[in-house]
Amino acid sequence: MKKLMLPALLAITVFTAGAQDATPNLGKVVDGYLVNVDERGVILQGHDPVSFRNGGDMPGDPKFQTKYHGAIYYFASAENKAKFDANPAAYEPEYGGYCAYGVSVGHLAPIELWTFDTTYQNRNIFQHNQKAVNGWKKDVPGNDALAKKEWAKFLEKYVGAMPNSPSSGAAPATSGMPGHNMGIAQTATLTLDGAQAVLNAAVAYAKANQSPGGSIAIVDAGGHLLLFERLDGSFPASASVAIEKARTAALFKFESKKLEDSINGGRDALITVGYTFLQGGVPVMFNGQVVGAIGVSGAKSADQDREIALAGAEGLHF
């Protein structure tokens, strides 16, 4: 089956995978700082920055919190909060908490906490995924030098001034900067180029792992279809199932597997709310926002449906 494309959606704000900072809404500026924070203003997904320096990863507690360079930090203990307050520059994540390798190639990307590395110049450095980790480690000093140059460009663009420190998010607050319009939320948008990157990654994974077929659907954040492809050998019903899996993941903003697990755990009432609670639906994330979702049905197993969807969702960034 040919890919279904919706030309009318080409008018949506452009956000292309791998592009060099393709939209002005990628970064969040808070109090004059470019930082990778969630809707609460919390950085590092609420985890304790001091714990990474001790070789571990501990969730923070909101009762121990500090705001520094525009970001709210949570700590696991009053002791760790005191350490941070005494020397915050020693613990804050590099490059505003964005993926360091992504910054080095001119791209803002979210991070996975397990990628933390404190071995280079005793700094907290995070990456987006294993591919980014591998790319960074090929030439750490060289990539760091590139990241500093690109980070300065991001600050000049988003914040409107050059920083004193090339790896910090610091710059004086200016009027008219992104993120300072009261009552207006800035939202990234998944376009056809981005959806195509998700689809390509999913198809590549399916073929590399000998999937006997599979329908793959990409939807926007509202659950509306952007792209669809049915691989040879897919059973016909997989098409509608894949679309509904994607729609479910987009509207619930988490994997459809979580809902399937809830039903298997005894919460049967979920069946009545009108969605498809089968694993294989995965949100597509950018900068902590759900910008769409991918649904897969008809692979060799339910687990492979999910694996293909996860691979597709990762395809948006690198």
| CA 17/CA 288 separation, integer angstroms | 16
- Is it the case that residue 71 has pLDDT exceeding 70? yes
Q: How much of the chain, in percent, has pLDDT values that exceed 70?
A: 79
- Is it the case that residue 229 has pLDDT exceeding 60? yes
| CATH fold of 192-314 | Beta-Lactamase (3.30.450)
Q: What is the pLDDT of residue 69?
A: 87
Q: Where do runs of H (alpha helix) occur along the chain?
A: 49-53, 78-86, 100-104, 130-137, 140-158, 192-208, 238-252, 256-264, 302-314
3-state SS, 46-66, equals: HECHHHHHCCCCCECEEEEEE
Phi, psi of 26 (to 5 degrees): -70, -40
Percentages (nearest 5) of helix, strand, coil residues in the chain: 40, 20, 40
158 or 184, which is more confident: 158
Phi, psi of 312 (to 5 degrees): -65, -45
Q: Stretch 274-285: mean pLDDT, rounded?
A: 86
Structure tokens at 130: 């294993």
Structure tokens at 281: 């639906």
In terms of phi and psi (left: phi > 0; alpha: psi -120 to 50; beta: otherwise), the region of 218 is beta
Lowest mean pLDDT among 85-99, 119-133, 159-173, 273-287: 159-173
Q: What is the pLDDT of residue 317?
A: 63
Q: 267-275 contacts: CB < 8 A, separation 24 or more?
A: 275/244, 275/247, 275/248, 275/251
* pTM of the predicted protein model: 0.49
CA 52 vs. chain centroid, Å, equals 20
Q: What is the pLDDT of residue 261?
A: 80
| CA 191/CA 227 separation, integer angstroms | 10
Mean pLDDT, rounded, of the chain: 80
Lowest mean pLDDT among 17-26, 136-145, 261-270: 17-26
130 or 316, which is more confident: 130
In 3D space, the residue among 288, 229, 261 whose CA is nearest the CA of residue 3 turns out to be 229
| CA 55/CA 262 separation, integer angstroms | 34
Q: What is the pLDDT of residue 172?
A: 39
| CA 243/CA 224 separation, integer angstroms | 9
What are the sequence ranges of the domains in the chain? 26-158, 192-314
pLDDT tens for each residue of 31-46: 778 899 988 899 999 9
pLDDT tens for each residue of 103-113: 999 888 899 99
